[in-house]
Structure 1
Amino acid sequence: MSAPSAPSGAPRGGLVPSDAAELVGILRDGIPRTRAQLAEQTGLARSTVSSRLDALMDAGLITAATDAASSGGRPPARVTFNAGARYIVSVDLGATHGVIALGDLAGTVLFSETAPLTISEGPEAVLDWALATAKRLVKASKRPRSELAGVGIGLPGPVQHSTGMPINPPIMPGWDRFDVPAYVRRTFDVPVLVDNDVNVLALGEHAVSWPTEDDLLFVKVSTGIGLGIIAGGSLQRGAAGSAGDLGHVRVPFSRETPRHGDENADLEALASGPAIARYIAERGTPAVSSADVLALARGGHPDAVAGIRQAGRDLGEVLATCVNLFNPSVIVVGGSIARAGEHLLAGVREVVYRQSTPLATEHLQIVPAAAGETGGVLGAAIMVAQHLLEPA
C-alpha cells in the first residue's frame, strides 16, 4: 500500500529516520532516560545519540522529561517519548457495530464513538459512516489534520494485510477485494493499514494487559470465531495473512463434546453466537443472534447457560490442540459471548486443562479479555504506530 513520500533514510511510515528507530524503540516504554544511559544501552557514541535525539526533538517525537534527582550539582537531563506528537484514527468494524476513535502514538484512546451498523450494507456505506464519524472526532479534538499520522482499520473477515483488501469475507457481501486503503485515503491522505478484527484485538489486549508475555492467543467468540496469535512478542499473520482461522477447524469428538453430524461440524457452526442461539431456539425460547444469547445468559436462562458452557467445551477441543502445538502462556477469550460471564471460560478450561499436555498447561492462564469495547480501536492504533515507528 502506498504512503506519503518519506525523508531519505526513513522507514515505511516516514515518522522516524531509520538510524534513530532504535532510540525511539527504547523510549517508547515511557521511561525517561539520559543521553548517557541511551549511549550505554545502544553502544553508540554520546555525540551520535545527541544528534539523533536533536532530530527527534525537532520532529516533536521526543521531549525533555522532568529533571532527575541529583545528589549534587546539575541533575542530568532526561528525554522521553512524546506519544501525543501525532494522532491516529482507529476504526473497529464488527458485523453489527462499529467503534471509531482517535488515539496517540502509544495507542491510548483519546476520543471514541460507538454505533450499531450492518456490515453487509457494503463497503461504501459503512466506510462513509466511519469516515464521517472520524472527521467529526478530529474536529472536536481541535487537532490539525497535519498531525494525523495514519489510519488503522479492523474488519470482521479475512484480510490480505499487504494490500488492505478483504478476501472472500463470508459475512461481508460486496467487500471482496474492495480497496479499503484507497477509499479511505480519499478523505485522509495518510498511511492506511487494514487487518482482521481479531488480529487488532490481539494487539490491543497484549498491549493493555499482557505486555510482558511473548506468547499469547486471543480468541474472539461472537457472530464468528477467530484467533489472534502473538508469538515472540509479535503478531503472526502467516504467509498470506490467514493465520488464526479457527472458526473453520472441525471439532473433534470426546467425552466432553457430543458427536456431531457429518455436515457443519466446524467450530463456528457449533460455538458461535448464532450457533448457540439455534441451540436455545430448538429448546423453545426465541433466539437468533449473539445479542439474544447474551441477554438470556445474563438473565440466567438455563438453556443459554448450558449452550454457552457447551460452546466453551467445543472451543476447548480445538484450543487444546493449539496449546500443544504453540505452548502459549496466556489464552485471552473475548467477543460478545465471553461477556456473558464465566460460562464460556469454564467450558474452555474444563477441556484444555484436561486434554493438553501437563508441561504446556503448568503455567497456562485462560482469562477473559480486559480491554473492553475499545480493545479493537486500541489495537488498530498500535498497528499503525508500529508501522510508523519501528524499523522495516
Structure 2
Amino acid sequence: MAPAAPRRTSDGGSGQALDLITSGRARTRTALADALGLSRSTTGQRLEPLLASGLVQESDDLVASGGRPSRSLRLNARAGLVVSVDIGEERTRVAVTDLETAVLGERVLALRLDDGPEPLLERISEAARQVLREDDLTGAPVVGIGLGVPAPVDSAAGRVTGWSIMSGWDGFDVRDHLRRAWGVPVVVDNDVNVQTVAEHHRFWPDVSHLFYVKIGTGVGSGMVVDGAVNRGAQGGAGDIGHAHVGGYGDPQCRCGNLGCLESLVGGWALARDLRDAPRPDMHDARDVARQVKLGEVQAVTRLRAAGRILGEAVAFATSLLNPEVIVLGGLLSVSGDHLMAGVRETVYQRSHPLATRQLRIVPTGFRSRSGIVGASYLVRDHVLAPARVDGLLAAGDSPFELP
C-alpha cells in the first residue's frame, strides 16, 4: 500500500480559517481542519472567535463528506453591509450589498463627471444613505465602501491619477474624502479592474490567467495574472483603449491622440460613424446597442467590423499574456454575438497557436452589475483579509473596526 500523502501544515489563524470558509474551500469542520493542516481541536480554537463574533455561522444543514455528514459552515453574509459604487460616464449606480455581494438595494443616478469630485461624491453618499434608510437596511453596520471609476487609479493611495474623462479629478483623494464622511475603509480602483475582479471571483475563481475586455462608450481591459489582478506599476495596466491601431485612417481620439483603438471601436466612435452615414439620431453607445438589437443592417455591420479591429489588439495581448480565458464585457458586448464573432475570428487567425490551443473566448456573465459586484468583492477582500482579521480579533476588536 502506498504511504498516505502528508497533511499540509499551516500556522493559519482565525483569519485564514475565515478565508477558507468564505471562498467555499472549507464547508465543514473536517474540511477546515484538512485545509489548515491542523487537528480538530486546534481548528475548533481557530473557529471559536469567528462564531462568537457572528462572522461565521454553523447551520444544521448537513454536508456529505465521504463519512458521516457534517454540519455546514458559512460566512454570515448579513454580518455587515457594503456600499458599492460604479461611476460611469452616463450613469452612476449606487448599491448596498451583503458580504456575499448580493444587492439588497440600489439607485441609478444621472451624474455629470465634470461637476467635480466633491459634489459628485456628496450625491453618491446621499444616495447610499437613502438606500440604507428607505430599504430598511440599518440593522447591520456598513463595513466599507468600494468604488469603480472610469479613470486610472493609484489604488494604494486611493486617488485618481493622470489624464481621464474625469476632468478635475486628477490627484483627488477619493478614499480620504469618503473615510471622513463614513468612518469606514474605502477601496477605490479603475472601473475595468473592478469588473475584472467580479468576473474572476464570480465565474472563474479557479482560473489563474484571465484577460477581461470592456467595450462600451470607451474601451479598457483588466488582467488576472497568477490568480490576482495585475494593475501595473502606477495603476495604468490594461489601458488597451489608447493603444494605436494603424491602417484605419487614424481618427481623432478623445484623449487627443490619433488612431487609438477607442477612436475606432468605442461606442462613441461607432455612433459617430453611423451618424455620419444614414443615422443622424446616433449619439452614444446605447443608441448603437439599440439599433444592433433591432437588427439595423449598418449598425450590425459596423459592430462586427469593430470586433475584428478589437480582435487585433486582443490577439497581441493573447500572445503576450497567454490567458486561459478572455471575457468580453460592456454594453456593446451584450448586444448579440456580432462583436464576439469579429474578435474570435481575428484572435484565432493572428495569435500564436500555442496561446490559442486551449483558449476560451466568452461573453460576460453579467448584464449590468459587474461594477457593483466587483466593488463589493474588493471591500470584502480588504476587511476580511486574514492578517487584518487576526490582528483585530487578538486586540479584542470587531473585525469591522476602522484600522
Q: 1:36 to 1:338 in 2, by over 3 A?
A: closer
The answer for the alignment partner of 2:339 in structure 1 is 344
The answer for the alignment partner of 2:263 in structure 1 is 269
Residues paired across the two proteins, number: 371
From 295, 301, 312, the equivalent of 2:290 is 295
1:184 aligns with 2:181: no
Q: Deviations over 1:262-319 (max 9, x none)?
A: 9611111111111111211222321231122222222222222222112111111011
Q: 1:128 to 1:121 in 2, by over 3 A?
A: same
Aligned pairs (5 A) from 1:100-119: 100-119=94-113
Q: 1:109 to 1:232 in 2, by over 3 A?
A: farther
- Residue 145 of structure 1: how far off its partner (Å): 7.5
Give 3-state SS (helix, strand or coil) of 1:177's partner.
coil
User: Could you tell me which amino acid in structure 2 is paired with residue 249 of structure 1?
Assistant: A
User: Could you tell me which amino acid in structure 2 is paired with residue 51 of structure 1?
Assistant: Q
- Give the structure-2-normalised TM-score: 0.85
Q: 1:33 to 1:308 in 2, by over 3 A?
A: closer
User: Could you tell me which amino acid in structure 2 is paired with residue 125 of structure 1?
Assistant: P
Query: Is this contact kept in 2: 1:252–1:317, CA < 8 A?
Result: no
The answer for the alignment partner of 1:377 in structure 2 is 372
User: Could you tell me which amino acid in structure 2 is paired with residue 192 of structure 1?
Assistant: V
From 13, 17, 20, the equivalent of 1:23 is 17
User: Could you tell me which amino acid in structure 1 is paired with residue 216 of structure 2?
Assistant: S
Consecutive unaligned residues in structure 1, runs of 5 or more = 1-17
User: Could you tell me which amino acid in structure 2 is paired with residue 234 of structure 1?
Assistant: A
Q: 1:174 to 1:78 in 2, by over 3 A?
A: same
The answer for the alignment partner of 1:6 in structure 2 is none
Q: C-alpha distance in 1, partners of 2:301/2:264? A: 13
The answer for the alignment partner of 2:319 in structure 1 is 324
1:309 aligns with 2:301: no
Aligned pairs (5 A) from 1:1-392: 19-30=13-24, 33-66=27-60, 68=62, 76-144=70-138, 147-253=141-247, 258=248, 260=250, 264-286=258-280, 287-391=282-386
Give 3-state SS (helix, strand or coil) of 1:371's partner.
coil
User: Could you tell me which amino acid in structure 2 is paired with residue 127 of structure 1?
Assistant: L
Q: 1:157 to 1:75 in 2, by over 3 A?
A: closer
Q: Deviations over 1:76-99 (max 9, x none)?
A: 554322222111110001000011
Q: 1:91 to 1:47 in 2, by over 3 A?
A: same
Q: C-alpha distance in 2, partners of 1:141/1:30? A: 29
User: Could you tell me which amino acid in structure 1 is paired with residue 277 of structure 2?
Assistant: R
Query: Is this contact kept in 2: 1:208–1:371, CA < 8 A?
Result: no
Query: Is this contact kept in 2: 1:166–1:177, CA < 8 A?
Result: yes
Q: C-alpha distance in 2, partners of 1:186/1:145? A: 22
Percent same amino acid at aligned positions?
39
Q: C-alpha distance in 1, partners of 2:134/2:309? A: 46
Q: 1:69 to 1:341 in 2, by over 3 A?
A: closer
- Residue 33 of structure 1: how far off its partner (Å): 3.9
Q: Deviations over 1:90-149 (max 9, x none)?
A: 000100001111112222222222232222222122212211111011123434476211
User: Could you tell me which amino acid in structure 2 is paired with residue 366 of structure 1?
Assistant: I
Query: Is this contact kept in 1: 2:96–2:132, CA < 8 A?
Result: yes
Q: 1:170 to 1:40 in 2, by over 3 A?
A: closer
- Residue 198 of structure 1: how far off its partner (Å): 0.4
Query: Is this contact kept in 2: 1:215–1:330, CA < 8 A?
Result: yes
Aligned residues: CA RMSD: 2.5
Give 3-state SS (helix, strand or coil) of 1:187's partner.
helix
- Give the structure-1-normalised TM-score: 0.88
Query: Is this contact kept in 2: 1:222–1:272, CA < 8 A?
Result: yes
- Residue 61 of structure 1: how far off its partner (Å): 0.9
Q: 1:78 to 1:209 in 2, by over 3 A?
A: closer
Task: Kindly indicate whether structure 1 or structure 2 has the higher relative contact order, using CA contacts under 8 Å at least 6 residues apart.
Answer: 1
